[in-house]
Amino acid sequence: MRFQSNRRQEEPEINLIPLIDVLLVIIIFLMLTTTYARFAGLELKLPSANAELVDAQPKELNIAVTADGDVLVNGGPVVGRDVDAISAALGRAAPAGEDPPLVIINADAKATHQRVIDVMQAAQRVGLARITFATRSDN
């Protein structure tokens, strides 16, 4: 006895709708829980303190800024604390010539940032664009 079935063999199919629903829920979850941080685009390259010692060049202006805020140009004190007084001292100390001298700022670690900016602004007013900072080696 052989019973024949009138059923047709159906091919199995994959239902994609539940898969899409799960993926959408995961995407929504990731979008809600992800934090987007925006950082300022300012990159600073700090100077290295392990550089070799360079011999003193004749076209250098050494400017020292003490912890008290006093400014010394090539070892001589500047009378006055404003940018105009520093500019006048830099103008007197800068040798006349084609190449402007290199300005080396020796700022004390406890000197205020504003005093260093004042020195840089004074150098800019006089036309001294080559500025560098002296650091101490921790060897």
Q: Is the pLDDT of residue 136 over 50?
A: yes
Residue 101, pLDDT score: 85
Q: Per-residue DSSP letters for 63-125?
A: EEE-TTS-EEETTEEPSSSSHHHHHHHHHHHSPPSSSPPEEEEEE-TTS-HHHHHHHHHHHHH
**Domain ranges across the chain:** 60-133
H or E element at residue 19: helix 17-33
CATH, range 60-133: 3.30.420.270
Give the residue carrying structure tokens 């404003």. Answer: 82
Q: Model-level pTM?
A: 0.56
H or E element at residue 33: helix 17-33
Residue 3, pLDDT score: 64
Residue 4, pLDDT score: 63
Nearest CA to 62 among 71, 73, 53, 77?
73
Q: Is the pLDDT of residue 121 over 70?
A: yes
Q: Is the pLDDT of residue 135 over 70?
A: yes
H or E element at residue 133: strand 131-133
Per residue in 18-75, pLDDT (tens digit) is 999 999 999 999 988 887 766 555 454 545 565 555 555 557 888 988 888 889 888 8
Residue 69, pLDDT score: 85
